[in-house]
Amino acid sequence: MNKRLFFGVCLTPFLFACSTSLRHYAPAASPSPSYPSNPAKRQDIVMQAMAMLDRGYTYGGKKLHTGFDCSGLVSFVYKESAGIALQGSAAQMAELAKPIDPTLAHPGDLVFFNTLGSAFSHVGIFIGSGKFIHAANERTGVKTERLNNTYWAKRFEGYRTFFA
């Protein structure tokens, strides 16, 4: 079994255990605002994103075998794991997604950054515990980062979701 996939399968339950509220017994018809809607899809998104670790970066890339840029990675992961078709740039995704308070962010939500001097120029997938996965650059490819890393913290623009 692939090491990345093995570790992803083993670690994901711990990520969700640390990041989700204990109020997960709310009725399905009216979920608590602290509980993420579609938890199974969110978990699938995180698992798929983790399986993409160490994949190559390609500007404009949206395919598994050719590599990804940031929005291409998000589009691929959301489509393959949750059946959610997203297209366009990071800024276009930010326009369509609903802004959420950081206290309501859950694994599978998106994180946005200003890396090019323009709003929402970079996007990643929040995986919980203060971390996100993104297609960083040609040198490093798809990797995890901490949101409190100095570089990312200075450029952070917020969480957004397609699950609210």
Would you name the residues annotated as active-site residues?
Answer: 70, 122, 134
Give the C-alpha separation, 137 to 154, whole Å.
Answer: 18
Nearest to 155 by CA among 164, 163, 145: 145
**Cβ-proximal residues to 159 (8 Å cutoff; 6+ apart), any chain:** 99, 100, 101, 102, 104, 105, 109, 110, 111, 112, 126
User: Which whole-number Å values give the CA distances from 21 to 45, 75, 107, 126, 129, in the listed order?
Assistant: 18, 27, 12, 16, 13
Tokens of 67: 């590599």
Strands 110-113 and 142-146: unpaired
Give the C-alpha separation, 30 to 60, whole Å.
Answer: 39
H helical segments located in 39-83: 39-51, 70-82
